């Protein structure tokens, strides 16, 4: 592939006019036009700046080895995702920055760096700047959708004075749920479409049900108060109603995923820990202990499943459970929780002591 054809493709991928590209790299629009038409070639001194601007190697720009560049980018992505899995903050950011220095215009790498910056340094504004650059340049609809979704979270947690206003403005740009691919395919009853999709339809529908259950249970938990126990002390939380709604969130998980929740056992355990805290807040010590024991049970289930295990319930049979996403085990999370002073009122209770002893006997 000739260099002019490559430049034209890369420019269009970033939704730039010839004039805009010329301005970015300090040449005339006539020069860019000549390159793309094959009437002229960039000066040798312009090849490296062009490659850096587009976030590609000079080999790719010159049409030498596009597949090698893709492999290199995928290797960077794989390494960053591996570090994300074990939650190595400094190593994640170092790897993402190193990858972006090698391919400074690659939107996938920019997105990964922004994703981690939004978690580790939300107030820096760097994540928002990177996401804004992607939205300015990318014409890929999927990339724009996920970038807008991450931009919402980045704005929301940025701590900036206008954070809420900016987050709401971004949220309004996101597509409505009813226009999503999953919703449309799940409610497809056209016989011709069903025959065409065959077994794929059942798999798509089960994935959709699984995602709905994850989302609905999580939203119910948050709507019930989540971990905002301060809302009880300031009188804005109905604890009894919150407890019941959170229990319903756990029931939804079981209704969809079955008795063995696999990955979702982690969420169920978290919900139980909050219910236990609410019960303790209103003086229901035995019920608090009941839910602490359930918390431990669910986290043990989370620790026990193997990445790649699949659900067996009717609703989501065959859907793969997500992999273990935390560097700490579920049991370690329970141990940490039980060490908080929240539980001092029941720490001497034999049931609490027995639970703590069982957990301490487990490997780290």
35-45 pLDDT, tens per residue? 888 888 888 88
Instruction: Determine the pLDDT at residue 25.
Output: 85
Tell me which of 84-93, 210-219, 225-234, 313-322 is least confident.
225-234
Q: CA torsion sign, 256 to 260 to 266 to 268?
A: positive
Check if the beta carbon of residue 276 is closer than 8 Å to that of residue 288: yes
Rounded CA separation 305/323 (Å): 9
Backbone angles phi, psi at 63, to 5 degrees: 75, 25
Own/partner pairs, 21-29, CB within 8 angstroms, 24+ separation: 24/53, 25/49, 25/50, 25/53
The DSSP call for residue 139 is -
**Rounded (10°) CA dihedral 349, 355, 360, 364:** -140
The CA radius of gyration of the chain, in Å to the nearest whole number, is 26
What confidence category does residue 361 fall into, taking pLDDT thresholds of 50, 70 and 90? Answer: confident
Q: Is 279 exposed, middle or buried (0-12, 13-18, 19+ CB in 10 A)?
A: buried
| Residue in the block written with tokens 């939804």 | 252
Check if the beta carbon of residue 295 is closer than 8 Å to that of residue 334: yes
Rounded CA separation 96/113 (Å): 5
| Residue in the block written with tokens 């979702």 | 264
Q: Is the pLDDT of residue 15 over 90?
A: no
- At residue 235, the 3 state secondary structure works out as coil
Instruction: Determine the pLDDT at residue 306.
Output: 92
What confidence category does residue 98 fall into, taking pLDDT thresholds of 50, 70 and 90? Answer: very high
Q: Is the pLDDT of residue 141 over 90?
A: no
Check if the beta carbon of residue 128 is closer than 8 Å to that of residue 158: yes
Check if the beta carbon of residue 349 is closer than 8 Å to that of residue 289: yes
What confidence category does residue 303 fall into, taking pLDDT thresholds of 50, 70 and 90? Answer: very high
Q: pLDDT tens digits, residue range 316-346?
A: 999 999 888 666 788 999 999 999 999 999 9
Write out the DSSP string of 202-225: HHHHHHHHHHHHHHHHHHHHHHTT
What confidence category does residue 256 fall into, taking pLDDT thresholds of 50, 70 and 90? Answer: very high
Check if the beta carbon of residue 254 is closer than 8 Å to that of residue 303: no
**What residues contact 160, with CB distance under 8 A and at least 6 apart?**
123, 125, 166
Q: pLDDT tens digits, residue range 28-86?
A: 989 989 888 888 888 888 888 888 888 887 777 776 666 677 888 899 999 998 888 77
Average pLDDT over residues 175-182: 74
Q: CA torsion sign, 177 to 178 to 181 to 185?
A: positive
Return mean pLDDT, the chain.
Answer: 85
The DSSP bridge partners found for residue 182 are none
- At residue 310, the 3 state secondary structure works out as strand
Instruction: Determine the pLDDT at residue 258.
Output: 95
Instruction: Determine the pLDDT at residue 190.
Output: 54
Please give the share of the chain, as a percent, with pLDDT higher than 90: 39
Rounded CA separation 124/128 (Å): 9
**Residue among 127, 116, 107, 109 nearest 85 (CA):** 116
Choice between 326 and 18, residue whose per-residue pLDDT is larger: 18
Instruction: Determine the pLDDT at residue 264.
Output: 95
Instruction: Determine the pLDDT at residue 276.
Output: 95
Rounded CA separation 345/292 (Å): 14
Instruction: Determine the pLDDT at residue 198.
Output: 55
What confidence category does residue 130 fall into, taking pLDDT thresholds of 50, 70 and 90? Answer: very high
């Amino acid at each position: 592939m000739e260099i002019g054809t490559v430049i034209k493709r890369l420019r269009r991928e970033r939704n730039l006019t010839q004039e805009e590209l010329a301005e970015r790299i300090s040449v005339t629009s006539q020069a860019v036009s000549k390159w793309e038409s094959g009437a002229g070639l960039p000066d040798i001194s312009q090849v490296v700046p062009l490659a850096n601007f587009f976030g590609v190697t000079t080999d790719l720009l010159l049409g030498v080895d596009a597949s090698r560049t893709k492999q290199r980018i995928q290797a960077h992505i794989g390494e960053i995702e591996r570090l994300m899995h074990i939650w190595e903050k400094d190593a994640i950011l170092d790897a993402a920055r190193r990858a972006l220095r090698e391919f400074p215009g690659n939107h996938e790498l920019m997105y990964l760096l922004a994703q981690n910056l939004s978690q580790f340094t939300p107030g820096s504004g760097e994540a928002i700047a990177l996401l804004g650059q992607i939205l300015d340049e990318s014409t890929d609809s999927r990339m724009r959708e996920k970038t807008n979704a991450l931009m919402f979270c980045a704005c929301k947690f940025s701590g900036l004075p206008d954070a809420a206003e900016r987050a709401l403005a971004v949220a309004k740009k996101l597509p409505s749920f009813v226009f999503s691919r999953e919703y449309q395919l799940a409610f497809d009853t056209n016989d011709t479409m069903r025959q065409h999709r065959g077994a794929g339809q059942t798999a798509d529908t089960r994935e959709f049900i699984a995602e709905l259950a994850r989302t609905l249970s999580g939203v119910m938990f948050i709507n019930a108060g989540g971990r905002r126990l301060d809302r009880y002390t300031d009188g804005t939380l109905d604890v009894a109603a919150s407890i019941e709604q959170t229990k319903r969130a756990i029931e939804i998980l079981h209704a969809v995923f079955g008795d063995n929740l696999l990955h979702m056992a982690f969420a169920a355990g978290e919900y139980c820990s909050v219910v236990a805290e609410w019960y303790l807040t209103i003086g229901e010590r035995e019920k608090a202990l009941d839910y602490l024991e359930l918390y431990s049970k669910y986290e043990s289930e989370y620790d026990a499943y193997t990445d790649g295990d699949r659900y067996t319930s009717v609703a989501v049979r065959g859907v793969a459970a997500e992999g273990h996403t935390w560097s700490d085990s579920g049991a370690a999370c329970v141990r940490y929780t039980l060490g908080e002073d929240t539980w001092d009122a029941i720490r001497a209770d034999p049931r609490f002591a027995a639970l703590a002893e069982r957990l301490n006997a487990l490997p780290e």
